[in-house]
Amino acid sequence: MKDKIALVTGANGGLGTSVTQALLDAGAMVVGLSRKIEQSDFSSPNFTALPGEISTASGAKAAMDTVVSRFRKLDILAHTVGGFAGGQSIAETDDATFQRMFDVNLNSTFYILRAAIPVMRKTGNGRIVAIGSRAALEPGAGVGVYSASKAAMVSLIRTIAQENKDAGITANVILPGTMDTPVNRKSMPNSDFSKWVRPAAVASLIAWLVGDAGRDVNGAVIPVYGSEG
Ligand SMILES: NC(=O)c1ccc[n+]([C@@H]2O[C@H](COP(=O)([O-])OP(=O)(O)OC[C@H]3O[C@@H](n4cnc5c(N)ncnc54)[C@H](OP(=O)(O)O)[C@@H]3O)[C@@H](O)[C@H]2O)c1
């Protein structure tokens, strides 16, 4: 992936850290975005930290403008920004939770992709991989707003795949089950962690999708559920 410019959103998250490292290891120049990202988060000279908030239109556009002004192009977008809320039925869900789930899971996807697609179309190539969730296809009691926001996001990515295949762009979405992240270990300490999805496995899949072998895969919705449930 030498000479490839990759943007990883959520680059310091439980999954994003593995994705950023996998793309650096593959030789890409990686711009890592999150609200609190720091240059010292990754030691590679090919890493650039880009602090930013992408659940607003202006924040996402500013982030993309910075990428273009520094690197002139964007080859790869790995969008891992997302957030979870659970424990309330739909009837109990308050406005703030509803808004937060749609801001972080759907609106961030729409805003960053709306800004990125014209940049990719200019060069006639681009790879987009977004992270949905198993819950997008399998809603459960108490996680309805999270599920709905991820289901809408899957629809958005599939549409983008259709709308941009003429320009050499692929767009795919991965649906992880519960992942083995430090946050999940802390909040579910009695679980069998070995059944969870390894972030490094999802990162390898992303590296494959954005590499040469992944060129023919477009519009895919890919379950990665581990051995749980
Ligand atoms: N963990 C799981 O078990 C699981 C299961 C299925 C699907 N997923 C999905 O997988 C993805 C990654 O999950 P994760 O566990 O790695 O999440 P995480 O650790 O909470 O990471 C989220 C990342 O997004 C950044 N972020 C959040 N809001 C942002 C915003 N408005 N603008 C810019 N950056 C923002 C965070 O950094 P800052 O705080 O610095 O902004 C962080 O880097 C998410 O889409 C999640 O929904 C996770």
Give the pLDDT confidence of 23-81 residue by residue, as tens digits.
999 999 999 999 999 999 999 999 999 999 999 999 999 999 999 999 999 999 999 99
Over residues 179-222, the pLDDT tens digits come to 999 999 999 999 999 999 999 999 999 999 999 999 999 999 99
Cβ(17) – ligand 1 distance below 6 Å:
no
What pLDDT score does 133 carry? 98
Over residues 80-115, the pLDDT tens digits come to 999 999 999 999 999 999 999 999 999 999 999 999
What pLDDT score does 221 carry? 98
Question: What confidence tier does 154 reach under pLDDT thresholds 50, 70, 90?
Answer: very high
Cβ(12) – ligand 1 distance below 6 Å:
yes
What pLDDT score does 139 carry? 96
Give the whole-angstrom CA distance, residue 46 versus residue 199.
21
**Measured in angstroms, how far is the CA atom of residue 168 from the centroid of ligand 1?**
28
Pocket test for ligand 1, best of 15, 107, 146 (most atoms within 8 A of CB): 15
Cβ(19) – ligand 1 distance below 6 Å:
no
Give, for 229, the enclosing helix (H) or strand (E). none
- Residue 4: φ, ψ to 5°: -85, 140
**Measured in angstroms, how far is the CA atom of residue 131 from the centroid of ligand 1?**
9
**Measured in angstroms, how far is the CA atom of residue 1 from the centroid of ligand 1?**
25
What pLDDT score does 229 carry? 77
| Cα-based distances in Å from 127 to 56, 102, 165, 188, 193 | 23, 24, 11, 34, 31
